Structure 1
Amino acid sequence: MRGPTKSSKMAPKKGRRERNATVTTLRNQGNEGISISERDSNSPHTQLGGQSGGSPGGQSGGSPGLPLDHDSGSSSANEAATNTSTGKGTHKGRGQAKLIVVDSPLPIQFNERGQPVGPNNEKFSSSCGVLARENVPISCQDWKKASKDKRLLWVAIKKLFEVPDCHRKSTFQSMGKSLSDYKSRLTNDIIEPEGDTEVINSLRPGNIKSIEEWQQFVSDRLSDNHKAKRQKFQDLRSMQKLPHTTSRRGYARLEHKMKKESNTPDSISRVDVWIAGHLRKNKEPLNDAIGVQKMRDYTQTQPEGTSSLQNDGVTHVFGAERRGRVRGLGFGATISKMQAIGYQKEQAKRMEEMMNDMKDEMRNEIKAEMMVEMKALLSQNACVASQSNATPNPIPTNLQGYMCELLPLMDKA
C-alpha cells in the first residue's frame, strides 16, 4: 500500500501558513479582539498577541474575540461521540462551515430587498454563521442586546466582504438566525442522553470555552420552561404541509438564478419562484397542498402586468400575508419592505413618464421653431433671387428630411 504523497503532507502546513498570514494581517490592522481556533484540539481560542481566550465561567471577561479560521476537527470528534452515544446513523452530511481566508474583501451583490445573491453569497452566509457561532456566548439569551459582540463581528465581516453599511441590520439578522439554528442543533444532541452527565459533557463543542458555560446552556435547555417552548414549536412544525426544495439556496438565490437564465428577467414573478421552489427534480409538485395548478390557472386569467402581492396566485391560494414575512421571497422580506419597494418603483416610473413627456414637448417646440425659421429663410431667398434676376441657389423643399436628421441629435442631449 502506497504511503501519503508529498502534496498530502504539505496540505496541513499550507493551511497553517495561510491562517497565520491572515492573523498577522488583521493584527497589523488593529483588530485586537480577533482570535483563531487551534487545529485538532478542544483548547480555547488563542487571542492575537498570545493571550489565552476565555476566563473561568466563560464570558465574564467580555467578548471572546473573532476567529479567523474554523476547523471542524474538534467538532467532528464531538459529532462522532454524538452518533455513538445516541444511536444515530453514520451518514456524513455537509458538516459545519469554515471561515474563509481571503487576500482582499470579496464583492457581494444584493438584490432590491437587501438579500445577498450572486457568486459569493454562499460564502457570505456561511461566514456570518461561523462568526456568530464561534464568538457570541452560547449563554446569550437576547441577540438584540449583544452590542459589543456585534461591533467586533461587523469589523470582521468588513475584512472579508465588501458589505455597505446599509446592509448592517440585515447581516446581523442573518447572524442571529444562524446562532439560533446552531443552538437548536446542540439542543437536539443533548435531549436524548438527558441525565447522562458524562455523555452530555462529551458533546461540548470545541468553541465553547469552559465546562461551566456548557453546563449552564445544558441546564437552560433541559428546563421545563424550555421543553414546553420546544414542544410548542415542534407541534407547529409538524403542521407544515408546504415543504420546499430550494435546499440552502433559498428563494432569493433561486429567483436570482431564474432571472439570470431568463431572456425576460422582468417577467419572473413571485408565483414562478414559488412553483420552482416546490417541485421535485422530475418537475412534479411535492403534494397537492402546494397548489401549483391552481396558481397557474389563476395567473392565466389575470391581465399581464397587473400582478402584485395583494392579488397574485400565491395570495389567491393561501390568503393574505401575515406580518413578519412574505411567502416565496426568502429570509428578510417583509410586507412593509415590499410596500416601500413598490412605492419607490412607482415613483421612478412616474418620473420616467414625466421626463418622456418633457422630452416630447421640447421636441415639438424645437420642431415648430425650426419650421418657422426655414420658411423665413425660403421666403428671404426667393425675394433676393427675384431682385437680382438671377437663378437662386437650389433650396431643398423637403424640410421633413432635415428634421429627421436633426431630431436624433436632440435625443442624445
Structure 2
Amino acid sequence: MGKYRFEEDEHVMFRKSLRKFLEKEAVPQYEQWEKDRLIPKSFWKRLGEMGFLCPQVEEQYGGLELDFRYAVIIGEEMERVGASLTGVGLHNDITVPYIEAYGNEEQKQRWLPGCISGDFITAIAMTEPGAGSDLANISTTAVRDGDNYVVNGQKTFITNGINSTHVVVAVKTDTKAESKHRGISLLMIEEGMPGFTKGRKLDKVGLHAQDTSELYFEDCVVPVANLIGEENKGFTYLMEKLQQERLVVAMAAQTASEDMLEMTVDYVKSRQAFGKPISAFQNTQFKLVEIATEVELGHSFLESLIEEHMAGKDIVSKVSMAKYWLTDTAKRISGECMQLHGGYGYMEEYKIARRYRDIPVAAIYAGSNEIMKTIVAKRMGL
C-alpha cells in the first residue's frame, strides 16, 4: 500500500530509520525469539535508546512529544516484522497513555522516563479467568489499609506479562457499589511488590515470542500513591482509552493483510505449475484481485479513522466497525493466501504459516468482535 495521506517528509524519514533498525536488530533474531517464546529485554532497551518507545510523551519526562502519526508508523513496522512484537504497541499506545492522561505529576516523574528508556516495561491487566468482555464483573479486590491497598485476585492473558515491570491493574475498590462498574479503580502494581507473583508463560497457538502470562495477587501490598486517577473511576478511564486500543489492533490487522498480499503475489509469480506460473491461472488472479480490493478499502477506511482520532473526535462506532471488519478480513485473507502457497504454505519456514496462526487472536483480544458489534448496535439505537 502507498503511504498515508498525512505522512510528510519527516514521517518518511522516521519510517526509513525504524525499518533499517528493525532489519538489523529484529528480523534476523525473530525466529529465535519465536523458539525462545520471548523477546529479550535487551531489545526493549535498544528501542528505548533509539527513541522508539513512547515518542508521544512530553519532553519534560524524556519523550519526543511526537503526534500519533509516529505511533502509526511504529505499529506498522513492528507488525511487518511479526505479530509477536505487539507488546511494544501495547506499551507505547495502550498502557503508557493511562499514566499520561490520569497520572499525577509525581507519578509521571516516577514512571514515564523508565517507560521511554525501556528500563520499565508495562502491561495492563483487566481480564480474569472468570471475566473477559464483562469487565464490570472483575473479582480482584483492593482493600484500603492505611497508606496501602491490599490486593487479592488473579489476572490472565496478560500481554507483556513476563517481561513487565509495571502493570496497570483493574481492581474492585468498592465491592458494594450499586452499579458494578462504579467500584473499579486502576492501580500500578510493580514487580517485586510483596504478594505479587507472575504465573506461567501461556502456550498460545500463535504469537509465540509474545510473552502472555497469568498474574497473581495474594495479600499484595500496594501504596495508595500508586492509585492512577481517582478511586472508583477506573471503568470510565478504561472506556475512554479503549478507542485507541481498538484502533491499534485494527491497524495491525490491516498491516498483516498488506504483508500477506505482497508475499503471496511474489510467490505465485515464481511458482510454476503445468508449465506456467500459478499467477497465470484465472482463479489465482481473481482471488488476489479480491484480496487487493479488500486491502485497498481497509487502507482508506483506516486512514480516515486515524485522522479523525488525531482530531480528537469520538469515533467509537467506526473504530468498533474497523476492529471487527479488519481482523475478520485478515483472518480470511490468511486462509486464502495459505491456500495459494499450496503445501509450502503449511511449512513453518514460510511466513504465511506464521501469519495464519498469529492472526485469529486479533478477533478476540481488545474486546471480541461480537462485543464490537454489540457496541455499534447500541450506538445505532437498536
Which structure has greater strand proportion? 2
Q: Which TM-score applies when normalising by structure 1?
A: 0.22
Q: Which TM-score applies when normalising by structure 2?
A: 0.23
Larger Rg: 1
Bigger relative contact order, structure 1 or 2, given CA contacts below 8 A and separation 6+? 2
